[in-house]
Amino acid sequence: MKIMIDTNILISSVLNPNGTPYKAYQKAVESPNQGIVCQQNIEELYRIFDRKFPSKKKNIERLFQISDSKLKIVSVPETSIDDENLIRDVDDRAILRAAIAENVDILLTGDKDFLESGITQPKIMTAAEFLSL
């Protein structure tokens, strides 16, 4: 399965390597799955850590090192899509656009804007839901 990993899962994984989001991240990047993040996820991750957790910024690299070559980083398509209007947060729409362009099966997130959107493809799941598959 192809799994788009949202920024909040990345943040939680960096901050708590024993938590459910981190376990979901590990599962998403392990075969037979393919973990995917878009450039916007990475930029947002670094912005948040610069602002809120500057002393923990080095832990971001550790997270990405565990996924080695297993994590695919993609760009965000410029052209908007119809379903993105179902996402309340305008900044999250690009992540959905990248997920659809990559034909992902699951968008892994804890963000209510995604979880309450009503979007059915890709399937939007929390870390706990993904781990229960």
Tell me how many degrees the CA angle 133-102-85 measures, rounded to the nearest 5: 90
Residues 25-49, mean pLDDT to the nearest whole number:
95
Task: Please tell us whether the domain made up of 2-131 is placed in CATH 3.40.50.1010.
Answer: yes
Tens digits of residue pLDDT in 62-116: 898 878 778 999 999 999 998 999 999 998 999 999 999 999 999 999 999 999 9
Residue-level pLDDT at 67: 80
Residue-level pLDDT at 58: 92
Which residue is it, tokens 């119809």? 82
CA distance 24 to 102: 20
Residues 25-37, mean pLDDT to the nearest whole number:
95
CA distance 52 to 57: 10
36 by DSSP, 3-state: which?
strand
CA distance 58 to 63: 9
Residues 118-129, mean pLDDT to the nearest whole number:
97
Residue-level pLDDT at 65: 85
Q: Where are the domains of the chain?
A: 2-131
**Total residues belonging to the chain:** 133
Under a CB-based contact definition with an 8 Å cutoff, are residues 83 and 99 in contact? no
Structure tokens at 76: 């965000």
Under a CB-based contact definition with an 8 Å cutoff, are residues 115 and 126 in contact? yes
Structure tokens at 24: 């979901």
CA distance 120 to 11: 25
Tens digits of residue pLDDT in 45-63: 999 999 999 999 999 988 9
